[in-house]
Structure 1
Amino acid sequence: MDPGIPVPPPLYGGHERLVHMFAEEYKRQGHEVSLLAGPGSHIPGECYAFGVNNLERSSAQKSKELLQAWAFLYKRRNDFDLIHNFGRLVYLLPVLNAPVKKIMTYGRPVSTKGIKIVTSLPNRNLIFTACSNYCVSTGNVAGSWKTVYNAIDFSKYRVNARVDHDSPLMFLGRLDKVKGAHTAIKIAKRTANTLWIAGNIPETADNLAYYKQQIEPLIDGKQVIYLGALNDEEKNLYLGQAKALLFPIEWDEPFGMVMVEAMACGTPVIAFNRGSVPEVVNNGITGFIVEDEAQMTNKIPLLKEIDREKCRAAAAQKFNVTKIAARYLSLFDYHD
């Protein structure tokens, strides 16, 4: 796992959360687990720290981290049955043609240049995975590719089987423009609903300007309420009380973990039909897939038709960590 954020993350950090969860699940199934990740990381198994936890670290620092990862993997190349890489593809170079089995996992659109270079080199026992069919399609130019969805531990989420008709709508995610918080606000105002907004305030100049100009002035503490960045317990609390999660994305989302987190609380999702959305949302069961603001607005009165317990059950059948961990292990037949 790349340094930058510890495993597990204190707040934001989708892949870091996944890595910790899979480590716990593999340990529960009786496997020995080791982790190479940033300082302060911990799992139920051996942990090796490298690099620094700083998302703004320099190129020189990243180069130093690459050398550290190479040295670790080359030295330990015969110690593992399986290496599962959630970090940079280039980390795998020292073991690319070693007998150890390797899974390279992507959670965002893939740079095909790196895939072509690596697969042109001598390599053995290497499988590429990505978190949706859409995401696989961005990188599947060479090598062996499989779709393995992201997961959550449903046992850590509480279903709320019933909410009132005047319960709030919710937006949860990074407050970048492509996530569409401005559209969620428009729809809440158009339908006279309260909107809870939760997520990290962006740090990049363009997205911070977007937040300051288009979101912050509309947060009134009454109809539009900003909750801050939420931890897992707070997500349970607020998602469970919301009547729907609005997901009005303006980009091709590779997966959208927040959609599954909402479903785990029984909360249906109304999402724009982009990226992985058709793979995550079961239309009419776990929410609604829509094409534009008008359709999103029109689906809000239909939320009462969604059975919230069935919403959770359908999502758990597809995205629970036990099922997804088994999917990863099945790639190299590690069930025994």
Structure 2
Amino acid sequence: MRIAQVATLYESVPPRAYGGIERVVSWLTEALAERGHDVTLFASGGSTTRARLVEACPSALRLIEDTADPQAYHFAMLERVVRMSSDFDLVHFHTDYQGFPFARRLACPHLTTLHWRLDIPGLAELYREFSDLPLVSISHSQRAPLPWVNWIGTVYHGLPDCQMPFSAEGGDYLAFLGRIAPTKRPDLAIEIAERAGIPIKIAAKIDNGDRWYYDGSIEPLFHDPLVEYRGELGDHEKGEFLAHARALLFPVDWPEPFGLVLIEALACGTPVIAFRRGSVPEIIEDGVTGFVVDDVEGAVRAIGRLGELSRADCRAAFERRFTVSRMTDDYLALYGELLRETGNRAAMSSPA
């Protein structure tokens, strides 16, 4: 099958450090290529892949975000996808609604995986105009604001079996991993750890747009001797960071569509204590792979119950539900359905 994967350009594929969408696109692209498919990846310069790479900009846009218009690069890339679309059996967009006007002009079938929240004012009007386009959600909860669009499936993210190191023992600190942003609530993670009297390590990037939040609300909290700020970590450092944590804290304050760090923690055997927001109850099995709570008090109580959980069970849940192999199988099934609808049986007979 000749498949185009179209990534966002804010980070390279795979990203050097933080970058959830680009990381998932990389895992899927490499898995498809490994299975023998002819894959073309549209991504930023600096990306690495065994697929054919079409560089849409010189470098990850995060590196030049203060001096470049990111939409200009994305629109130019999407027009190039249209121009090359006769070379593909199918195009898989990961650019949310940016690709919608371009998708209608493709010479082949397409689908779009939505990676972001859908409860923003104005989105309903936009999606009504494109209600015919085939969409994939990354959790069932993500669909709630727009249940009437053309959903063709839900595919949970998956990561490689060997991506994260498993630890049967864990460690003596709590972990927070992600971004320093108001919706991620690192302040609540620190409050939970302080009330439990347990050290917490914060590994997180700070986007330029969130610098005000860090300077005014978070940096002063780092003076507590229980709090250690580790900065932004690379893949190897992140694995060790999660594997040696007692638990991951995930006190998000928004309808999280998936939360890649949740399955990264499970792959390490590290249980998760998370607020009941968005996809959290779909990913974390309460009382098995962690605790799903409603507030800070519930999170503090859950820390006292961590001894009830098995780190081996956390890893087993990851292997059962959240591997890149399972994710790739799910997407190939959706690709097959789209090709059957268009009668492209020649493409369906290529490697699977």
The DSSP-based 3-state class of the residue aligned with 1:270 is: strand
Tell me by how many angstroms 1:202 deviates: 3.5
Q: Please, what is the CA RMSD of the aligned residues?
A: 2.1
The DSSP-based 3-state class of the residue aligned with 1:173 is: strand
Separation in structure 2 between the aligned mates of residue 76 and residue 102 of structure 1, nearest angstrom: 13
Report what 2:339 is aligned to. Answer: none
Separation in structure 2 between the aligned mates of residue 218 and residue 15 of structure 1, nearest angstrom: 30
**1:297 matches 2:300:** yes
Report what 1:123 is aligned to. Answer: none
**1:34 matches 2:40:** yes
Tell me by how many angstroms 1:40 deviates: 1.8
Contact in 1 for aligned 2:288/2:310 (Cα 8 Å): yes
Change in Cα spacing, 1:12 to 1:79, as seen in structure 2 (3 Å) is: same
Report what 1:218 is aligned to. Answer: 221
* Match for residue 138 of structure 2 among 119, 131, 135: 131
Report what 2:4 is aligned to. Answer: none
Report what 1:4 is aligned to. Answer: 10
**1:260 matches 2:263:** yes
Separation in structure 2 between the aligned mates of residue 254 and residue 47 of structure 1, nearest angstrom: 28
Separation in structure 2 between the aligned mates of residue 9 and residue 193 of structure 1, nearest angstrom: 32
Separation in structure 2 between the aligned mates of residue 157 and residue 64 of structure 1, nearest angstrom: 33
The DSSP-based 3-state class of the residue aligned with 2:236 is: helix
Contact in 2 for aligned 1:199/1:229 (Cα 8 Å): yes
Following TM superposition, the consecutive aligned residue runs of length 4 or more in structure 1 with deviations greater than 6 angstroms are none
Tell me by how many angstroms 1:186 deviates: 1.1
The DSSP-based 3-state class of the residue aligned with 1:5 is: coil
Separation in structure 2 between the aligned mates of residue 59 and residue 215 of structure 1, nearest angstrom: 28
- Correspondences of 1:73-222 after superposition (within 5 Å): 73-96=81-104, 98=106, 100-110=108-118, 111-119=123-131, 126-163=133-170, 167-204=172-209, 207-220=210-223, 222=225
Cα distance per residue 1:79-98 (max 9 Å; x no partner): 11111100143435445265
Change in Cα spacing, 1:171 to 1:139, as seen in structure 2 (3 Å) is: same
Separation in structure 1 between the aligned mates of residue 165 and residue 55 of structure 2, nearest angstrom: 34
Cα distance per residue 1:91-123 (max 9 Å; x no partner): 354452656221101111233333222236xxx
How many correspondences in the alignment? 326
Separation in structure 2 between the aligned mates of residue 243 and residue 20 of structure 1, nearest angstrom: 29
Change in Cα spacing, 1:76 to 1:288, as seen in structure 2 (3 Å) is: same
TM-score, normalised to structure 2, is: 0.86
Tell me by how many angstroms 1:258 deviates: 0.7
Contact in 1 for aligned 2:203/2:230 (Cα 8 Å): yes
Structure 1 stretches of 5 or more lacking a match?
A: 121-125
Separation in structure 1 between the aligned mates of residue 211 and residue 260 of structure 2, nearest angstrom: 23
Separation in structure 2 between the aligned mates of residue 89 and residue 217 of structure 1, nearest angstrom: 38
Change in Cα spacing, 1:65 to 1:163, as seen in structure 2 (3 Å) is: closer
Tell me by how many angstroms 1:61 deviates: 5.7
Contact in 2 for aligned 1:132/1:254 (Cα 8 Å): yes
Change in Cα spacing, 1:192 to 1:119, as seen in structure 2 (3 Å) is: closer
Cα distance per residue 1:110-139 (max 9 Å; x no partner): 33333222236xxxxx52012111112233
Change in Cα spacing, 1:162 to 1:39, as seen in structure 2 (3 Å) is: same
Cα distance per residue 1:289-336 (max 9 Å; x no partner): 001111110011111111101111112211110001110110132574
The DSSP-based 3-state class of the residue aligned with 1:177 is: coil
**1:21 matches 2:33:** no
- Correspondences of 1:24-63 after superposition (within 5 Å): 24-51=30-57, 53-55=60-62, 56=65, 62-63=71-72
Structure 2 stretches of 5 or more lacking a match?
A: 1-6, 337-347
Higher normalized contact order (CA 8 Å, seq sep 6+, divided by chain length): 2
Q: Percent same amino acid at aligned positions? A: 33
* Match for residue 247 of structure 1 among 243, 246, 250: 250
Contact in 1 for aligned 2:96/2:115 (Cα 8 Å): no
The DSSP-based 3-state class of the residue aligned with 1:155 is: coil
Separation in structure 2 between the aligned mates of residue 127 and residue 83 of structure 1, nearest angstrom: 11
Contact in 2 for aligned 1:129/1:136 (Cα 8 Å): no
